[in-house]
Structure 1
């Protein structure tokens, strides 16, 4: 092998072995101060699902959506000034996405030990996020979910890579996004405008949503 090729190979190997740039969680927390105006301090979203839960969401999904908002490939009026006027850099997006992905929201009320001050107790309660049980056939919804959705969103609905977490998300928000997908106002993972969701009946979708509200796992 020529010397130049060996040198190139060594350089490429060296760069490939370099650790990825570390995220700045403190900076991410600072950036989240803007997000909190709609999504809440802990990323729980709007109480009626007008704003989605972003806490604990898949980091790659958060990054991809923020970049889509910034590029206007996913049109969202409230997000436009946030991503444009602030001029979020790729580094900013990584930092805030990592910070949000690391927030855990318990699904049952806390048990106080007796040593917490009033503010700590209030924050513990505010972080609790329990999605009300949605109407529908949970058993049928579970079968449909595992067959149609689990390969991308995970068997427990917690997402995978670019695919978002669905469990613990507001039912109203999920239903609204499904409607946008079906109207082709928001792209799904498939090419074109027809995909998995188009093959489901309205009752099927409602049953899946009901199933998702039944598998919230409390964190000890």
Structure 2
């Protein structure tokens, strides 16, 4: 990407550290992404380019971003900043997944942006709860523990993911993964949130959020 090469050259000449260089590039990409989302024509162009590139993604996440498999997350209506951020994490090894880690390395920055824009414009579909008896408890727990970051309706915000409508199985997997993380190796605040959740708490949250 031209702007990325120019920024990288400037920073190297300026003598900035590699970590500072990466952070500055990431900031520029996020600024570009916000500009695209704020411009109707730019957003439509990115959407159409993303639509051409998501064929492989659609096999698992669904062409409309609604997952075809309960252990795989929805991407529909997810915030583009969050989606792009996950591409970066899979690409640099912060997150690991057999398929996504490889896929992220094959996509250019432009393609990552376009895919993120495309899925962000899709409509997320709520799912029936696998355990309706736990929905009320899950709603209460969500509003107490989770709404502060993910929003009162679980729709997320910028780099905070949308949880509404996610498959219950995936939500359970994700919360248990955070629960098992070593806080000396990972810095996400989700470790502290998930650590105190019981198995029933996790089941209740998943039972509620998937219906939203």
Question: What residue is the counterpart of 1:104 in the other structure?
Answer: 123
- Indicate which of 75, 79, 92 corresponds to 2:96: 75
Q: How far did 1:34 drift?
A: 2.1
> Aligned residue pairs: how many?
170
- Indicate which of 127, 152, 156 corresponds to 1:131: 127
Runs of 4+ in 1 over 2 A off after TM superposition: 18-23, 136-140, 185-189
1:176-196 deviation digits (Å, cap 9, x = unpaired): 111111111795731xx8411
Asked if 1:92 is matched to 2:88, the reply is: no
- Structure 1 residues 116-127: aligned runs within 5 Å: none
Asked if 1:38 is matched to 2:57, the reply is: no
Distance 2:193 2:126 in 1: 28
Secondary structure at the residue paired with 1:46? Answer: coil
Name the one with the larger helix percent. 2
Question: What residue is the counterpart of 1:189 in the other structure?
Answer: 188
Gaps of 5+ in 1: 1-17, 106-128
The answer on whether the counterparts of 1:181 and 1:187 sit within 8 Å (CA) in structure 2 is no
What TM-score, normalized by structure 1, do the two folds share? Answer: 0.70
Distance 1:92 1:43 in 2: 16
Asked if 1:202 is matched to 2:196, the reply is: no
Asked if 1:56 is matched to 2:77, the reply is: yes
What TM-score, normalized by structure 2, do the two folds share? Answer: 0.72
Distance 1:157 1:207 in 2: 15
Question: What residue is the counterpart of 1:176 in the other structure?
Answer: 173
1:76-107 deviation digits (Å, cap 9, x = unpaired): 111122122x2x222221111011000114xx
Q: How far did 1:134 drift?
A: 2.7
The answer on whether the counterparts of 2:126 and 2:166 sit within 8 Å (CA) in structure 1 is no
Deviates more, 1:140-149 or 1:193-202: 193-202
Tell me which structure has the larger Cα radius of gyration: 1
1:46-99 deviation digits (Å, cap 9, x = unpaired): 23x132111111111101101111112111111122122x2x222221111011
Q: How far did 1:130 drift?
A: 4.1
